[in-house]
């Protein structure tokens, strides 16, 4: 099957619509980065959020960007302009953050780095909208109200597209994806820590393939 080419420059909505799930990846060993990325791509998932939660994260992004051209390496847990710059320098092509500040938004605009900023309240949505952002991460999704909150937001924020992340699993992903204001979901279940540690790339490919077949509303 031919791989759909990505637009240049890449936009946040392109990241969200490429597949139903963006994997939230925590890597502790650079040696795992490339085979993990290849397994996810083989399963139909190429937008890869590598979280900046470990000392090896930037090196992992750099390795994926250099050695797996079919993947689109992104950086999660961006909290500052310095994080955005470091991620960009490592080869990240999009960023994801747990919250939002105008300083982070400006840094990503300056770098032309698409950003999915985390929001959990109406005021945070409006702050992101004021800076021109309309594709947002709903985080932590389950703890902040889940599908009920997204349904409530659809009235006043019907023009915003969300990527719910945090507590999303195979058990509830379809419920989120059925909503008209959800473009995709983020989840860590595609890359279980035990599978990564064991190098069980076949299991991860299978999980990615299942996730890539999830239907949107």
The catalytically annotated residue of 49, 62, 135, 205 is 49
Contacts from 152-155 at CB under 8 Å and sequence distance 24+? 153/122, 153/125, 153/181, 154/179, 154/180, 154/181
State the DSSP string of 105-130.
Answer: HHHHHHHT--EE-EE-SHHHHHHHHH
pLDDT tens per residue, range 58-84 = 999 999 999 999 999 999 999 999 999
Question: Which DSSP state fits 135?
Answer: E
CB 71 within 8 A of CB 60: no
Looking at the DSSP assignment, which residues form a beta bridge with residue 21?
Answer: 185
pLDDT tens per residue, range 79-107 = 999 999 999 999 999 999 999 999 999 99
pLDDT of residue 1: 45
The catalytically annotated residue of 62, 137, 151, 205 is 137
Q: Residue 144 above 80 pLDDT?
A: yes
pLDDT of residue 122: 98
pLDDT of residue 3: 72
Q: How confident is the model at residue 2 (pLDDT cuts 50, 70, 90)?
A: low
Q: Residue 201 above 70 pLDDT?
A: yes
The answer to whether 137 is a known catalytic residue is yes
What lies within 8 Å, CB to CB, of 10 at 6+ separation is 72, 93, 94, 114
pLDDT tens per residue, range 25-61 = 999 999 999 999 999 999 999 999 999 999 999 999 9
Q: What percent of the chain has pLDDT above 70?
A: 99
pLDDT tens per residue, range 113-129 = 999 999 999 999 999 99
Domain 12-209: top CATH class: alpha beta
Using DSSP's 3-state secondary structure scheme, residue 200 falls into: coil
Sequence ranges of the domains in the chain: 12-209
- Put residue 146 in one of left, alpha, beta given phi > 0 → left and psi -120 to 50 → alpha: left
Q: In whole angstroms, what is the distance from residue 180 CA to residue 150 CA? A: 9
How many beta carbons lie within 10 A of that of residue 202, not counting itself? Answer: 12
Nearest alpha carbon to residue 24 among 134, 182, 146, 137:
137
Tokens of 121: 């309240």
How many beta carbons lie within 10 A of that of residue 40, not counting itself? Answer: 31
pLDDT of residue 162: 99
């Amino acid at each position: 099957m031919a791989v759909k080419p990505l637009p240049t420059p890449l936009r946040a909505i392109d990241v969200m619509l490429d597949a139903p799930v963006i994997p939230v990846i925590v890597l502790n060993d650079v040696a795992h980065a490339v085979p993990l990325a290849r397994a996810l791509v083989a399963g139909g998932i190429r937008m890869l959020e590598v979280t900046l939660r470990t000392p090896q994260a930037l090196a992992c992004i750099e390795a994926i960007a250099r050695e797996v051209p079919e993947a689109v390496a992104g950086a999660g847990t961006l909290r500052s302009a310095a994080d955005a710059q470091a991620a960009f320098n490592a080869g990240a092509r999009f960023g994801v953050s747990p919250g939002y500040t105008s300083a982070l938004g400006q840094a990503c605009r300056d770098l032309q780095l698409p950003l999915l900023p985390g929001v959990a309240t109406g005021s945070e949505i409006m702050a992101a909208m004021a800076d021109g952002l309309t594709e947002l991460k709903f985080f932590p999704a389950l703890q902040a109200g889940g599908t009920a909150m997204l349904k409530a937001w659809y009235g006043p924020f019907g023009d915003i597209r969300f990527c719910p992340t945090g507590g999303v699993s195979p058990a509830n992903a379809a419920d989120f994806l059925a909503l008209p204001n959800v473009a995709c979901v983020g989840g860590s279940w595609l890359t279980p820590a035990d599978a990564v540690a064991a190098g069980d790339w076949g299991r991860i490919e299978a999980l990615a393939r299942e996730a890539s077949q999830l239907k949107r509303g």
